[in-house]
């Protein structure tokens, strides 16, 4: 539950005054979130800065001031870079990035010494199509290291040191937490911070928040004309929070009339296919698009790394092998594999190929990563599925309501049923509801997400926008538009 601490109020006042503190980052004066006059209320469309590194300069109405050195570093990390490191000392890797990007990069020698890593520690990585940001993250992940932008340099350090100096930022969220009053006035309505905060802490860097022993904190504060989340976290976690808020804003719909009897009466745009709301990271989108492309390869006892290089080069993406995770289960990147893949989608081809070795793949930092199921489950992808047509029901009084439980039960009982948190697995699914949202938020592996998308698309084949919205608790064979019987119940096929 949220509490309005006096400290958060102080932070809000300090930040809105434009005060800069090295420990908290630099937060500029508040500006109102734009609300076009043609659409009133909390569901009005809002225009925000471009996504990506440049978009972080404006966090939904609040300017985050960056000095020229920080701007230069962020821009440099977006550059494409080709690297070929084989057992290269870390210092030499740093020098390469400094020259290639034209920025200052330093190693936090004291922090690295504390964990037994020296500047001469060797690393290996070959990439042809990645951004400098993705390349650097994957290189440092080999050594359990990270980077932060601090004091006008990009600093290579440990996660523990990065967490020791958090950044505090303010996020305007009135459009996500305000419920209009009975008269339709947003200002007079209630505020539901709890649902939004629980969503963030349960899907973004879940082990890093104070309620589970981590360093990060999240609070709420309201000022005249604006409701704020106050978040203290690392730079990487802030980036994920930004992505989550953007996704939520992409899947808003109009407030739903309680008297509606059919979907058509709602006058909202109904989702298509899976209703998946993607964060438009161009690197991520490129990999997702590549997974749908046909590939062909015939290999007899060919080394795994050579097969991945051939597949990646044929469609213009980097396919990276998580060498350390594979070594933990006794598999090397030189393990021989045999395959005959002709014209199959890359997604299906990788599933069949990697199944020989009990491996899987994930999309991470704009790269396709071959890894173990255990590692994939430790770094789940959170995705948003717009489901007003599948979750809306009528209550006992005939008024419109939302029933996420029935849809969630269908998903968790038919898609990878042993992988969900209620049976001890890592995956989670919950509904996010508001006057302008009817969304399923799912944290799962990429493979499970693919099966969920297929199931939701199949369910939508039976939705009749002009049919009656079913009552709460309607049985599966009720013939209503949302929960009609589908021909095959079970895990979708490839």
Beta strands in 391-476 (DSSP E): 392-394, 400-402, 428-434, 437-444
Q: H or E segment at 345?
A: strand 336-345
Is residue 307 in some structural domain?
yes
Is residue 118 in some structural domain?
yes
Is residue 271 in some structural domain?
yes
Is residue 5 in some structural domain?
no
Same structural domain for residues 221 and 269? Answer: no
Domain that holds residue 360: 284-377
Q: Which of 59-63, 344-348, 414-418 has the highest mean pLDDT?
A: 414-418
Yes or no: say if 362 and 379 are a contact pair by the CB < 8 Å rule.
Answer: yes
CATH number of the CATH domain containing 145: 3.55.50.30
> What does DSSP say about strands 381-386 and 276-277: parallel, antiparallel, or unpaired?
antiparallel
Alpha-carbon span 38 to 255, nearest angstrom: 15
Is residue 53 in some structural domain?
no
CA 123 to chain CA centroid, nearest Å: 28
Closest CA to 274 of 440, 399, 397, 433: 440
DSSP code of residue 256: P
At 263, list the tokens.
Answer: 């979907």
String of DSSP letters for 130-173: EEHHHHHHHHHHTTT-EEEEETTEEEEE-HHHHHHS-EEEEEE-
Is residue 407 in some structural domain?
yes
Same structural domain for residues 180 and 315? Answer: no
Judged by DSSP in three states, 332 sits in: coil
Q: In what order do the strands lie in the sheet with 167-172?
A: 167-172, 226-233, 217-223
Same structural domain for residues 267 and 403? Answer: yes
% the chain with pLDDT above 90: 45
Residues 86-98: pLDDT tens digits?
Answer: 999 999 999 999 9
Residues 186-227: pLDDT tens digits?
Answer: 445 688 899 899 999 988 888 899 999 999 999 999 988 889
Using the predicted structure, report yes or no on whether residue 437 has a pLDDT greater than 90. Answer: no
258 pLDDT tier (thresholds 50, 70, 90): confident
Same structural domain for residues 351 and 369? Answer: yes
Closest CA to 32 of 253, 223, 231: 223
Alpha-carbon span 295 to 317, nearest angstrom: 13
pLDDT for 66 equals 59
Yes or no: say if 437 and 473 are a contact pair by the CB < 8 Å rule.
Answer: no
User: How many structural domains does the chain have?
Assistant: 4
Rg value, the chain, Cα: 24
Same structural domain for residues 214 and 360? Answer: no
Q: In what order do the strands lie in the sheet with 367-371?
A: 319-321, 367-371, 360-364
Alpha-carbon span 340 to 296, nearest angstrom: 8
Residue 34 CB coordination number (10 Å): 11
Same structural domain for residues 404 and 354? Answer: no
Same structural domain for residues 189 and 101? Answer: no
| Lowest mean pLDDT across 30-44, 196-210, 271-285, 354-368 | 30-44
Using the predicted structure, report yes or no on whether residue 35 has a pLDDT greater than 60. Answer: no
Per-residue CA distances from 414 to 244, 313, 374, 478 (Å): 27, 36, 21, 20
Alpha-carbon span 441 to 233, nearest angstrom: 22
DSSP code of residue 485: P
Alpha-carbon span 156 to 301, nearest angstrom: 39
Is residue 323 in some structural domain?
yes
Using the predicted structure, report yes or no on whether residue 423 has a pLDDT greater than 90. Answer: yes
At 160, list the tokens.
Answer: 């523990």
Average pLDDT, the chain: 80
Yes or no: say if 380 and 456 are a contact pair by the CB < 8 Å rule.
Answer: no
| Lowest mean pLDDT across 90-104, 418-432, 471-485 | 471-485
pLDDT for 474 equals 56
Same structural domain for residues 345 and 448? Answer: no
Is residue 340 in some structural domain?
yes
Residues 463-474: pLDDT tens digits?
Answer: 999 999 998 865
Same structural domain for residues 79 and 106? Answer: yes
Same structural domain for residues 267 and 391? Answer: yes
pLDDT for 236 equals 85
Q: H or E segment at 235?
A: helix 235-250
Same structural domain for residues 398 and 488? Answer: yes
Yes or no: say if 426 and 416 are a contact pair by the CB < 8 Å rule.
Answer: no
The residues, ordered by sequence, that sit 6+ positions from 46 with a Cβ below 8 Å of its Cβ are 33, 34, 35, 60, 175, 249
Same structural domain for residues 106 and 140? Answer: yes
116 pLDDT tier (thresholds 50, 70, 90): very high
């Amino acid at each position: 539950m949220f509490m309005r601490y006096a400290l958060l109020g102080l932070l809000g006042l300090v930040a809105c005054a434009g005060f800069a503190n090295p420990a908290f980052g630099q937060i500029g004066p508040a500006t109102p979130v734009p609300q076009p006059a043609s659409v009133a209320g909390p569901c009005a469309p809002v225009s925000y800065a471009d996504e990506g590194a440049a978009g972080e300069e404006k966090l939904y109405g609040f300017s985050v001031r960056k000095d020229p050195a920080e701007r230069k570093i962020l821009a440099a990390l977006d550059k494409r870079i080709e690297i070929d490191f084989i057992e290269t000392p870390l210092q030499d890797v740093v020098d390469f990035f400094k020259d290639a990007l034209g920025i200052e990069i330093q190693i936090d020698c004291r922090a690295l010494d504390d964990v037994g890593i020296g500047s001469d520690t060797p690393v290996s990585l070959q990439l042809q199509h990645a951004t400098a940001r993705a390349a650097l993250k994957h290189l440092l992940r080999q050594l359990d290291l990270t980077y932060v932008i601090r004091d006008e340099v990009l600093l290579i350090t440990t996660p523990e040191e990065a967490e020791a100096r958090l950044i505090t930022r303010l996020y305007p969220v009135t459009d996500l937490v305000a419920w209009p009053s009975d008269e339709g006035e947003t200002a007079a309505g209630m505020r539901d911070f709890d649902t939004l905060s629980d969503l963030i802490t349960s899907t973004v860097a879940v082990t890093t928040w104070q309620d589970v022993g981590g360093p990060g904190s999240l609070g709420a504060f309201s000022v005249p004309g604006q409701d704020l989340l106050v978040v203290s976290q690392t730079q990487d976690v802030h980036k994920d929070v930004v992505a989550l808020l953007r996704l939520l804003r992409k899947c808003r719909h109009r407030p739903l009339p309680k008297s509606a009897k059919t979907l058509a009466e709602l006058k909202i745009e109904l989702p298509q296919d899976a209703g998946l709301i993607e964060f438009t990271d161009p690197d991520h989108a490129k990999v997702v698009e590549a997974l749908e492309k046909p590939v062909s390869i015939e290999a007899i006892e060919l080394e795994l790394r050579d097969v991945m290089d051939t597949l990646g080069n044929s469609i213009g993406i980097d396919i990276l092998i998580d060498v350390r995770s594979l070594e933990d289960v006794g598999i090397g990147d030189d393990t021989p594999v045999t395959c005959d893949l002709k014209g199959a989608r890359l997604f299906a081809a990788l599933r069949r190929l990697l199944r020989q070795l009990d491996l899987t793949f994930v999309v991470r930092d704009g790269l396709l990563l071959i890894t173990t199921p255990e590692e994939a489950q430790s770094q789940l992808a959170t995705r948003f599925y717009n489901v007003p047509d599948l979750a809306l029901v009528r209550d006992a009084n005939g008024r419109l309501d939302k029933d996420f439980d029935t849809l969630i039960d269908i998903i968790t009982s038919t898609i990878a049923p042993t992988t969900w948190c209620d049976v001890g697995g890592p995956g989670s699914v919950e509904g996010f509801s508001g006057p302008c949202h009817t969304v399923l938020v799912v944290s799962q592996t990429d493979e499970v997400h693919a099966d969920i998308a297929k199931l939701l698309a199949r369910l939508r084949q039976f939705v009749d926008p002009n049919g009656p919205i079913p009552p709460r608790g309607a049985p599966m064979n009720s013939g209503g538009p949302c929960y009609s019987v589908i021909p095959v119940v079970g895990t979708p096929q490839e």
